[in-house]
Amino acid sequence: MSLGAGSLIADKVRLVRLLGSGGMGHVWLADHLGLDTQVAVKLIAAEHAAIPEAVARFRQEAAAAAKMKCPHAVQILDYGVQEGCPFIVMELLEGEDLAHRIQRAGPLPVAFVGDVITQVCKALSRAHALGIVHRDIKPENVFISEDQGERLIKVLDFGIAKRRGDSELSMTSTGVALGSPYYMSPEQVVSAKTVDPRSDLWSLGVVAYQAMTGKLPFVGETVGALAIAINEGTYEPPSAARPGIPGAVDAWFQRALVKDLSARFQTAKEMAETFALTTGRSAGKEEFGEAETDVAPCPAAKLDCVDNCPTVRVSTPLLELHGVPSPPEQAPVAALSGTHMTATVSQRLDRSRTPVVWGIASAAVLLLAVFGIGLAFALRNGAPAADVASQGQTEPAPGSPALTEPQPTVTPFVQVPETAPDPAPSASAAPSAPKPAVAKPRLPVPPRPKKDRGF
């Protein structure tokens, strides 16, 4: 039976008009008579309706999407077969897919692409947790809806999604490729049967590159040439492909588009959070429902954002991205209050205070030798030594004998190198100056992470 405008599906959904067609079927605008609302209905193409493998994959799409129950995946309302023609009833989306947005607007702002990455990663994180690998992440399957300034991004078409551990359905007879070649990972080019969630992350990396630069990272005049280019993994850095893209973003793509699976981002959550940190999007952690963590600079070659780790490594270019020069070797790094980051602070004693502290210690030795009883009285009734050292005071405590002019043989200021080790105690040696008490700086304690709402 040929279904068309006016046809009634499952006695409750009436087809209104055709919205679009794809390789596997057609999508219609329809009225849901029972719910009094408009929905979208996907019908399998007539040429595939008689092929068991195609029908099984069509049903698999409905089942995979229905299990998602995620705001970033299209909602499935019903599935069935109408006179031999399988159908899927799903929510009606208003907006456009990412492919049309790129075609209409050209290269998109880094912040916009970051929002796409964040929301798509939430959908992928949910799918991967269910053991589902999408295997066809591309701009056409990323849908953008905007309402009153709020942007909602959804992942579409789980038609070739595969649950890990399930047997692979051969698509040779239907002629449908398992994925779009330009967005395939190197391992998917070799075999779509053994891919894992990290293949989806590669595909999202290609989508992000195209959205940000307006061009694909890997191209070829033939499918074979494209496969070679993907396998070699050589592409133009985004900052060179499009002026205005921060150089720090290049390091993120080095993790997203690396052939070595162990070096690639391991989870969708890690991928999204690292991009947020790399681009300085402070709202990134809040979007994933987590508290901010301390961030310490590390070599630019690594962006190791690991799940549930209290310290996140961020490359040195991130500091430069915020207008803060990279710290010199061995120099203390101050806290970056404007970027919600806390760097490591050196606990060494300031050089400018060393002569004063040792001068006070020398004066204390002189007082101990000449005015032993008076000094004991002063220490019992005067200010603590730690306060004297921290305030840089040299006056004796109230009630102690006045300090006479120092003897010529005493050097009031002694410069001691920072790296000199403390002398070992000796019973025969003359009593040395007591080491001043200096309070160590206290590092800030990160707030307790909030409950993860994003994943």
Amino acid identity of residue 264, one-letter, is R
> Which listed CATH number (1.10.510.10, 1.10.275.10, 3.30.2310.20, 1.20.58.1610) goes with 96-294?
1.10.510.10
Which value, in Å, is the radius of gyration of the alpha carbons in the chain? 33
In the prediction, which pLDDT does 1 show?
53
Q: Do the domains spanning 8-90 and 96-294 agree at the CATH topology level? A: no
41 neighbors 87 (Cβ within 8 angstroms): yes
Set 136, 157, 200, 250: catalytic member:
136
DSSP state at residue 29: E
pTM: 0.61
CA distance 142 to 134: 12
Strands annotated E in 294-452? 294-298, 311-315
| pLDDT for 273 | 96
Name the nearest CA neighbour of 212 among 177, 181, 184, 237.
237
DSSP string, 108-176: PPHHHHHHHHHHHHHHHHHHHHTTEE-----GGGEEEEEETTEEEEEE---TT-EETTSPPPP-TTTT-
What is the per-residue burial (b if ≥16 Cβ within 10 Å, else e) of 415-424?
A: eeeeeeeeee
Place of tokens 């004063």: 356
**Are 179 and 136 spatial neighbours (Cβ–Cβ below 8 Å)?**
yes
What's residue 161's pLDDT? 60
| Tens digits of residue pLDDT in 375-404 | 444 444 444 444 434 444 444 444 444 444
Residue 201 CB partners (closer than 8 Å, separation 6+): 124, 256, 264, 265, 268, 271
Q: Tell me what pLDDT residue 357 has.
A: 46
Distance, in Å, from the CA atom of 133 to the CA atom of 125, rounded to the nearest integer, reads 10
Of the candidates 162, 70, 178, the one whose C-alpha atom is nearest the C-alpha of residue 121 is 70
Query: Do residues 346 and 328 make contact, with C-beta atoms less than 8 angstroms apart?
Result: no
Phi–psi pair at 377, nearest 5 degrees:
-65, -40
The whole-number pLDDT of residue 209 equals 98
Active site residue 294: no
Backbone angles phi, psi at 422, to 5 degrees: -70, 135
| Non-local CB neighbours of 147 within 8 Å, separated by 6+ positions | none
CA–CA gap between residue 444 and residue 86 (Å, rounded): 60
337 DSSP 8-state letter: G
Architecture label for domain 8-90: 2-Layer Sandwich (3.30)
Which residues of the chain are modeled with pLDDT < 70?
1, 159-179, 282-455
Dihedral Cα 262, 264, 265, 266, nearest 10 deg: -30
pLDDT at 179: 62
For residue 116 the two structure tokens come to: 């796409």
Where exactly are the structural domains of the chain? 8-90, 96-294, 349-417+431-450
- Judging by beta carbons within 10 Å of its beta carbon (0-12, 13-18, 19+), is residue 292 exposed, middle or buried? middle
* Residue 293, token pair as written in the block: 């963590």
Q: What stretch of H or E contains 272?
A: helix 268-278
Q: Is 89 helix (H, G, I), strand (E, B) or coil?
A: strand
Any idea what the Cα angle at residue 453 is, between residues 160 and 130, rounded to 5°? 30
Q: Which residues of 192-225 are buried (b: 16+ CB within 10 A; e: fewer)?
A: beebebbbbbbbbbbbbbbbbbeebbbeeeeeee
The structure tokens 């979007």 sit at: 287
